[in-house]
Structure 1
Amino acid sequence: MSFAKAYSGLKDGAVRALMFGVCGLAVAGCDTLSSFNPFDNSEKYKPEVVATAPAEQIYNDGLARVQKKDYEGAAKKFSSLDKQYPFSDWARKGLIMEAYANYEGGLYEESITASKRYLQMHPATPDAAYAQYLLASSYYDQIPDITRDQEKSQRALLALQELIQRYPTSEYVADAKKKIQVASDQLAGKEVEIGRFYLQKRNYSGAINRFRTVVGQYQTTRHVEEALERLAEAYMAMGIVDEAQTAAAVLGHNFPDSPWYKDAYALLTKGGVEPRENSESWISKAFRGVPQVGQRAG
């Protein structure tokens, strides 16, 4: 019941007395109170009528903002389609465009959120491959330099691999493969950096574990040559000569002109041995089926 109805039975004089009594409690506050009319409910309870624009108009407004490079404004327009026309085809189109606009505007986390939502709601639609590509690219574009944590590199790699697995015939596969190589190289570089640190500290087991990751998972990266040479160093330091010989032999077989092989060869000969591959070594097994250097794509 409104204030006006509650006091509709009071006589005019009684109502005025009530109002004056309220002001009398604090003279300093009368100016403020006098601006408030307890019988005027229009401002508080007046229903607001908001005109809903046609979905096509909202979508086109978003496209216009994209053309003007107002990506944040475009994303908001596309996002409003889901609120005003939920479960519609316009809402679906708006969601993929929201992911795109956020990506173009450098709002990567927002693009990731929209892309994931699209994949959850519309995994079998023609634009699903593009949503996966935007998701992967949003992680990829956040890859930091080698000295920092490489979580984004790992997430980018996984998302790119999923793109190829789920949508092998999509037009984004070729670019995804190139980005996979870059992300893999970044991750391998980080492992080598940490491995070097352990090697300097004579923590040979810790170093071997890092270089082993590079040899086992990132054989096609530019860091694998150094990883094999560092393995030869660590194994020689630990007195595990057979593995050191294998690391150098595999390095020489795959990268005969590499300066890292020259270093490994010099290291072994200084210790009185030469490179010799043990086919039962994990190093040898890791390189089985891996194209030789002359056969690898550039």
Structure 2
Amino acid sequence: MPMISRPSSRFAIALAALLAAAPARADIMDSISNGFGLFSGEKYKTELLPDIPAEDIYNQALAKLEAKDYETAAKKFGELEKQYPFSHWARKGLLMQTFAQYSKPSYDDAVASAQRYIGLYPTSPETPYMYYLAGMSYYNQVPGVMQDQETAQKALVIFNQLVEKFPKSEYVADVKYKIQVARDQLAAKDMSVGRFYLTRKNYPAAVNRFHDVLAKYQTTRHAEEALYRLTEAYFAMGIVNEAQTAAAILGHNFPDSQWYKDAHELLATGGVAPQEHQGSWLSKIGKTLGAS
């Protein structure tokens, strides 16, 4: 409660003179009676919040969570940090608030809460779980291949952080699988855009997309087709040595692939065969290619 100081003697004399010179006004007297000076135009209302034990708030929030009232549960858990800051209840509340938001689902809120937890409690035993929930919040929003893949990219970043920072975490096995799924999704997006450029005969743009697939997502199932499409694009541009190299690397890594047979036939129409040229950028990438 704010302390209300007594009026100074000078203030009291001035107030007495004013009251003597004119009839007392009801609003002035009301102001004085409520502990405020002459020039205050508002009344101060003190509101005392009930002192609810942290454990009670936590249990109330748990009850809402069990009832699947995730929004109310998240708000209740959030009260712990407000009323008991810097306590273990605040940490537990933020943890459970994140879980409630994820369960609702309110993914943007869950990501924000998880990142806040990670920042406040980087060495907590539950921190790997916060990385997992943040990553899953993005992963669950990954759209179809033809749409923007920003959420897949964000999920990939967080999952990689989890694996790097907590390699022995119980979530790593599941996360590694989801990393491969996200990488495959991103590769599929680049492939779809590259094919579009091929149909429009914009071969340089197509090459850039297929290059990205091999440079970033070479262990995905799209590597075979990317090599064939590079053969196709380079051959159409008349850059035969690069087309031959792409086909040769395709045959080396995937000798039984239908894509390799198609590449071989395509080159044959120009009187050439697959052949690796060591100066090609493809020759460097080809040494690390392989199916996942």
On whether the aligned pair clears a TM of 0.5, the verdict is yes
Write the mapping of 1:28-43 to structure 2, written as runs, cut at 5 A. Answer: none
Amino acid at match of 2:60: D
The CA deviation at 1:11 is 6.4
The CA deviation at 1:38 is 9.3
Write the mapping of 1:231-270 to structure 2, written as runs, cut at 5 A. Answer: 231-270=230-269
Secondary structure of 2:220's aligned partner: coil
Matching residue of 1:55:
54
CA distance in 1, matches of 2:33, 2:246: 87
1:132-157, Cα deviation, whole Å (9 max, x unpaired):
11111111111111111111111111
Secondary structure of 2:138's aligned partner: helix
Percent identity of equivalent pairs: 53
The CA deviation at 1:128 is 0.9
TM-score by length of 1: 0.82
The CA deviation at 1:62 is 1.6
Task: Note the aligned Cα RMSD (angstroms).
Answer: 2.5
The 1:270/1:67 distance shift into structure 2, 3 A limit, reads same
The CA deviation at 1:44 is 5.3
Matched, 1:202 2:208: no
Matching residue of 2:82:
83
Hey, which bits of structure 1, 4+ residues long, moved more than 6 A? 5-12, 37-41
Secondary structure of 1:137's aligned partner: helix
* Ranges in structure 1 where 5+ consecutive residues have no aligned partner: 19-36
The 1:272/1:111 distance shift into structure 2, 3 A limit, reads same
The CA deviation at 1:109 is 0.3
The CA deviation at 1:275 is 1.4
Matching residue of 2:211:
212
Matching residue of 1:104:
103
CA distance in 2, matches of 1:174, 1:244: 38
1:241-266, Cα deviation, whole Å (9 max, x unpaired):
11111111221222223222222121
The CA deviation at 1:40 is 10
Amino acid at match of 1:96: L
Contact 1:52 1:84 in 2 (8 A): no
CA distance in 2, matches of 1:150, 1:96: 28
Secondary structure of 1:130's aligned partner: helix
Matching residue of 1:131:
130
Contact 1:219 1:287 in 2 (8 A): no
Contact 2:244 2:267 in 1 (8 A): yes
Matching residue of 1:160:
159
The CA deviation at 1:83 is 0.4
Aligned length: 269
CA distance in 1, matches of 2:191, 2:109: 33
Contact 2:214 2:285 in 1 (8 A): yes
Contact 1:232 1:247 in 2 (8 A): yes
CA distance in 2, matches of 1:52, 1:249: 75
The CA deviation at 1:114 is 0.3
The answer to which of 260-269 and 153-162 deviates more is 260-269
1:191-214, Cα deviation, whole Å (9 max, x unpaired):
111111211222111111110000
The 1:171/1:266 distance shift into structure 2, 3 A limit, reads same
CA distance in 2, matches of 1:242, 1:40: 96
Amino acid at match of 1:54: P
The 1:223/1:8 distance shift into structure 2, 3 A limit, reads farther
The 1:137/1:40 distance shift into structure 2, 3 A limit, reads farther
CA distance in 1, matches of 2:19, 2:57: 47
Matching residue of 2:94:
95
Amino acid at match of 2:217: Y
TM-score by length of 2: 0.84
